[in-house]
Amino acid sequence: MRLVIGGAFQGKKDYVKQTFHLEDAEMKDGATASYEDIFHCPCLYHFHEWIRKGLEENWNLDNLEGELLEKNPEIILVSNELGYGVVPIEAFDRNYRETTGRVCTRIAQKSSQVIRIVCGIGTVIKDA
């Protein structure tokens, strides 16, 4: 499992396509993906949007990292970093931001590689 993180519009998807030789057809958009899609696709981008959808639909995300390691250990997850901006006013948005951070932290701990993208440039911050 790999996690690619960075701010919005930093070139994460293009970096993943080039680095891991993926075509668009191999990449699933988390904003429209179902709960089950994450367990079958090579790459899920907008992972943060998949988490938002999960919160809206009351998915159990407590052991997501364990399930991914069991069912789709080669997946590449691409997520925006949400914790650097202004704290949202709405309770749901605060919960979404916190949940995304906590899920990504757990995913990073179990990932073989974590890459941070800034201005289209990847920096490997974990390579186990």
CA distance 9 to 23: 19
- Whole-number pLDDT of residue 1: 98
Q: Where does the pLDDT of residue 84 fall: very low under 50, low under 70, confident under 90, or very high at 90 and above?
A: confident
Closest listed residue to residue 45, CA positions, set 66, 59, 25: 25
Q: pLDDT at residue 65 above 90? A: yes
Strand partners, 44: 28, 77
Contact between residue 14 and residue 124 where contact means Cβ atoms under 8 Å apart: no
CA distance 12 to 16: 6
**Average of pLDDT values for 1-15?**
97
The residue with greater pLDDT, 87 or 78, is: 78
**Average of pLDDT values for 88-106?**
96
- Whole-number pLDDT of residue 86: 85
- Whole-number pLDDT of residue 32: 97
Residue extents of the structural domains in the chain: 2-127
Amino acid at 93: D
Share of the chain above pLDDT 90, in %: 95
Q: pLDDT at residue 83 above 90? A: no
Closest listed residue to residue 64, CA positions, set 26, 31, 102: 102
In this structure, whether the domain defined by 2-127 belongs to CATH 3.40.50.300 is answered with yes
**Average of pLDDT values for 38-46?**
98
Angle between helices 91-110 and 64-71 (to 10 degrees): 40
